[in-house]
Chain A
């Protein structure tokens, strides 16, 4: 399958700080990317998406940046809260499939 990898398997941040989670993808033909949050015992929850014709997209407290030149995706979470503690996955669409990386575990320290 395709390779979607995350640079940091774990990330700890202080409550109130900003978090940045990175993701590398390998398929230059991928045209759509989604960030998911997964809490223990639950399914992946959609956070934000971005299409390949965009470089940046903002949501509520979250921003996704896409650098197609180096095939890199990042998720920025502003003013990180304890409820943000979870595993975060990026996923890329190639054809009919979405490929996921291993995930980054984010821990927010109160």
Chain B
């Protein structure tokens, strides 16, 4: 595709609900990143994939957060039993190996 695509753009979840956020990276990009951005802050690293392999998940804040990229293309970030502190913008980015990292528009998650 022309750019990194994320869906949905906005998600409102009741506390305790599970959510799934989707990322379609740029075609051919083997590297995929997830970031969390709180209001007024810079993006915080969550996890990194190279193709289907999750090479780094050190930024995931708890075991309620889970990411997958089963076929090395589309990725899903799942948050179980959402809590209010999970409210943030979730950004997906992709790149060629060690190349420029391009971001999607993000999914704004609001937990009420």
Chain A residues near B (Cβ < 8 Å): 1, 4, 32, 34, 36, 41-46, 49, 89, 91, 93, 95-103
Quick check: B101 and A43 within 8 Å, CB to CB? no
In the complex, the answer to whether B33 meets A98 with C-beta atoms within 8 Å is yes
Could you list which residues of chain B lie within 8 angstroms of chain A, going by C-beta atoms?
A: 4, 33, 35, 40-45, 48, 50, 55-56, 59, 91, 98, 100-106
B49 nearest in chain A by CB position: A96
Q: Are A98 and B100 in contact (CB under 8 A)?
A: no
A89 adjacent to B103 (CB under 8 Å): no
* CB < 8 Å A-B pair total: 53
CB of A101 within 8 A of CB of B42, answer yes
Q: Please name all residues of chain A whose beta carbon is closer than 8 Å to the beta carbon of B104 when the two chains form the complex.
A: 43
Q: How far is the CA of A45 from the CA of B103 in the complex (A)?
A: 7
**A43-B105, A43-B106, A44-B91 given; A99·B100 CB < 8 A:** no
Measured in the bound complex, the distance between the Cα atoms of B99 and A49 in whole Å is: 10
Query: When the two chains form their complex, are residues B103 and A98 in contact, meaning their CB atoms are under 8 A apart?
Result: no
